[in-house]
Amino acid sequence: MNLEIVSPEKILYSGTVDAVTLPGLLGSFTILDRHAPIISILSQGKLTYNVKGNDTELAISGGFAEMKNNVVSVCIESLMES
């Protein structure tokens, strides 16, 4: 599936991933390939995406995410120091 992470300043990541874990308001959740469509508000926490077995982690202040047509679009407010 494709993942795009954007902030008000720039595109932070755009590419193919195996999984993405997001900090939802009710707790973390993971989106895998061909997940059902979803829109979620994100809270402060860790966003993790996996590419070929390698995890990349970003500390975010919040935002929202949408999964549609096997594309995960994440708009974050800002990055935080981890």
Q: Is residue 82 part of a domain?
A: no
Are 19 and 11 in contact by the 8 Å Cβ rule? The answer is no
Are 31 and 47 in contact by the 8 Å Cβ rule? The answer is no
Domain range spanning residue 55?
A: 2-76
Scored b (16 or more CB within 10 A) or e, 4-37 reads ebebeeeebbeeebebbbbbbeeeeeebeeebee
Q: How many domains does the chain have?
A: 1
In whole angstroms, what is the distance from residue 18 CA to residue 55 CA? Answer: 10
Q: Is residue 58 part of a domain?
A: yes
- Provide the pLDDT for residue 81: 81
pLDDT digits (tens, 9 = 90+) for 16-41: 999 999 999 999 999 999 999 999 99
DSSP 79: B
> In this structure, what CATH number is given to the domain that contains residue 70?
2.60.15.10
Q: Is residue 57 part of a domain?
A: yes
Q: Is residue 64 part of a domain?
A: yes
Q: Is residue 81 part of a domain?
A: no
Q: Is residue 66 part of a domain?
A: yes
